[in-house]
Every structure is written in structure tokens, then in C-alpha cells.
Amino acid sequence: MANKQLAFGAQNVWQIFNSFAMMYPALFGVDDLHHSRSTHRQESQTGLLKLTMTRFPLAALVLLFIGAPALAQGTAYSFDNFDTRNGVRVYVEPPKLRVPSGRSRRPSKLEASKKTTASQNAEQLITLDDPASTLKPTVLVYDSLAASATNAGSPLRGYTTGSAQIDGYLVDSGARNEIDPLLLYSIMHQESSFKSQAISPKGARGLMQLMPGTAVRYGVTNIFDPRQNIEGGARYIRFLLDRFDGDVNLTLAGYNAGEGAVEKYGWRIPPYAETQEYVRRISRRYSLLRDPNAALYATRVSPAQLAKLQGKQPVPLTIYERTILTVRLPDGRLQLTSQ
């Protein structure tokens, strides 16, 4: 291989030498040689050789300098970026041959008929059996969860005031005035703890703690009558919702401090500690009533515990209420209680 490269390099050098000698004859003494033959024909061959040898070292040095790249080149071809039109050659990996994992053959008619017969027999077995006994999963349902699922679709979602009659009044007044009964329930629990004869130090009375002027304003003739009291409170709440564009927080603030106080402070909750605590408590109750997890984790109370809870007085609004929770009564219904 090395001999071939050397022969190839010598051939390139010889071609370059001939080309260079034709382009620059004076450098190699060729022009002088012709001149000496025309003018001094009697000069001997020894003089011609001397003339040529005096110029040969310079020519050999030039040839060596020019032919060095040619000698360095090999016969093996190497690809570069100038060998393509766009200057870059993209390497495309050849497709790999897919080796079959095993033989596959088309099933015969006999095998196909056997599979069809087997599938038909399986379908007949499933059809003959009772689907309910084979497909219906077994579900373990506790009594409390079953009661919650039954009451989940009711307007009060299983909650009660302790009286089915008052529960009905709440639902009817809520439907008549387009108010969520759970919101009425939350307000009633805070206002009177479901006591129809409750009277506040400021003179508010009944289940919804109506002031006498508010009761007259909405047509209540007997302020201690549960039905009239609930209806009067529902009408007042409907008025506040319309006045404050459906804002529940402003409605609650107006129910406690009056709509004039809300308007006085730029349609915001007035900076009264009692009013702000009142809004916080009702909002907490309303959120708890709509939480489905509250019914799932409600603690069941005994009749003695229930009597004790019902005998407790409401926490004054001047005191921060720590906890409000849901309990399950002995009959399975739900009720709010505060601690």
C-alpha cells in the first residue's frame, strides 16, 4: 500500500514538474538552452550539463514545496461536506429486518367452528344464570350512611330543627321566597337555637328573632307563631338579597345590623364586632350544612346528651365561637350544635 502511494505521489510530482517547466522555462534553464544552441552551436555537451545543473537545485526546491501536498495525499477516498450540493450529507439508517417471533398460520375451518361453538355455549351459560347474582357487587351499608343517602335529596339534607312541623315551614317559606332552606336553617339556629319563644335582650322574638317593627313591616300578626315568624324572616331575607344583588354576606350583615348600616359603610359589612362575628357564624353553618362529609362523620348522641345540648344557651356574639359541628340524633336525623 505504501509503494502504491509513493508511485502515485511521484507521478503527480512529474506532472506538476512538466506543467511548471512549460509555464516558466527560464527558471529551469530551458530558454537558456535554446539560446545557447542558436548562438553557440559549437559549445560542448559538458557546458550544457553545467548550465542545467546550476539551475536544477532551485527548481528541485520549488518542486518539493509544490508537490508536498500531493505526496501527502493517499489513494483512499474520504467524504467531506463539499461533496454534496447543500454541503451536508444526512445519514439515513437502513431499515432493520424484522425477525418473526414465531410462525403464524390461519386457523382452519374446523378450529374456527370449535371456537364459535365454545363462545356460544359460554353465552348461554351466562344468560341462563341470574345476572343479578353474578354481576351485582356486594356492598356493605351502615344504617347511618343509608339514612344520609335517603335524606340527601331532601331540601334540608337530613337536618332537622327537632320538629317536623317547623321543618316543613322552613321548606315552604324557602320555596315561596326562592331562598335555600339551609340558609334559613342556619339563621334560625344562630338566632334562637330552634326555640319558638326565644326573646333577645334587644327585643327580637321568635324563631327568626324578628324585631316588632320588622314583623309589622312584613305582615306578621302573631310574632310567636312559628309559621308567621318564619315567613316574615324569609320575606325580609328575600328583600335583602334583592337589595344587595344576591350577596349573602351583605344580606346577613343587613339582617343583623339593618340594611341602613350596610349602605352607610359603602355596601360593606359594618365594622361592628357583633355583626362581623354574626356573618362569620352563619357562613360557617351554611357551609357545613352543604358539606356531604359532615353527615358521614357526624357523632351519634344519646337522648341524655341531646337534652343537654338543647338546654344550652346560644353563645353571645361578643364571644368568638370556636366550633360548630353536626351530630346524629337517636332517630338518625342530623342537627347542628355549637361548642
Instruction: Note whether 40 and 168 are same-domain residues.
Output: no
Select from 21, 52, 76 the last residue of a domain: 76
Q: How far apart are CA 107 and CA 113, in angstroms?
A: 10
- Is pTM beyond 0.75? Reply is no
Instruction: Note whether 318 and 201 are same-domain residues.
Output: yes
Q: How far apart are CA 154 and CA 334, in angstroms?
A: 12
Q: How far is CA 201 from the centre of its chain?
A: 53
Domain-embedded: residue 248: yes
Domain-embedded: residue 323: yes
Instruction: Note whether 160 and 293 are same-domain residues.
Output: yes
Segment 52-70 shows an average pLDDT of 62
Domain-embedded: residue 54: yes
Instruction: Note whether 65 and 204 are same-domain residues.
Output: no
Q: How far apart are CA 329 and CA 259, in angstroms?
A: 37
Please report the sign of the dihedral spanned by the C-alpha atoms of residue 277, residue 280, residue 286, residue 287: negative
Domain-embedded: residue 41: yes
CATH number at residue 293: 1.10.530.10
Instruction: Note whether 64 and 160 are same-domain residues.
Output: no
Helices 30-39 and 45-72: crossing angle, nearest 10°?
160
Select from 25, 49, 76 the last residue of a domain: 76
Helices 273-289 and 248-257: crossing angle, nearest 10°?
130
Instruction: Note whether 168 and 274 are same-domain residues.
Output: yes
Domain-embedded: residue 107: no
Q: How far apart are CA 189 and CA 336, in angstroms?
A: 8
Indicate if 191 belongs to the active site: yes
Instruction: Note whether 39 and 174 are same-domain residues.
Output: no
Domain-embedded: residue 11: yes
Select from 59, 76, 93 the last residue of a domain: 76
CB atoms within 10 A of CB 162: 14
- The three-point CA angle 294-297-299 to 5° equals 105
pLDDT for residue 47 is more than 60: no
pLDDT tens digits for range 279-336? 999 999 999 999 999 999 999 999 998 888 877 777 888 899 988 999 999 999 999 9
Instruction: Note whether 58 and 164 are same-domain residues.
Output: no
Catalytic residue among 191, 231, 259, 274: 191
Residue 10 pLDDT: 53
pLDDT for residue 99 is more than 60: no
Segment 207-222 shows an average pLDDT of 96
- The total domain count for the chain is 2
Instruction: Note whether 175 and 298 are same-domain residues.
Output: yes
Domain-embedded: residue 226: yes
Q: Which residues pair with 300 in a beta bridge?
A: 328
Q: Find the Cα–Cα–Cα–Cα dihedral 214, 217, 219, 220, rounded to 10°.
A: 20
pLDDT for residue 220 is more than 70: yes
Domain-embedded: residue 317: yes
Residue range(s) defining the domain that contains residue 163: 149-338
Q: How far apart are CA 97 and CA 315, in angstroms?
A: 83
Q: Which residue has the cell 347511618?
A: 144
Segment 206-213 shows an average pLDDT of 96
Helix (H, G, I), strand (E, B), or coil: what is residue 185?
helix
Instruction: Note whether 331 and 186 are same-domain residues.
Output: yes
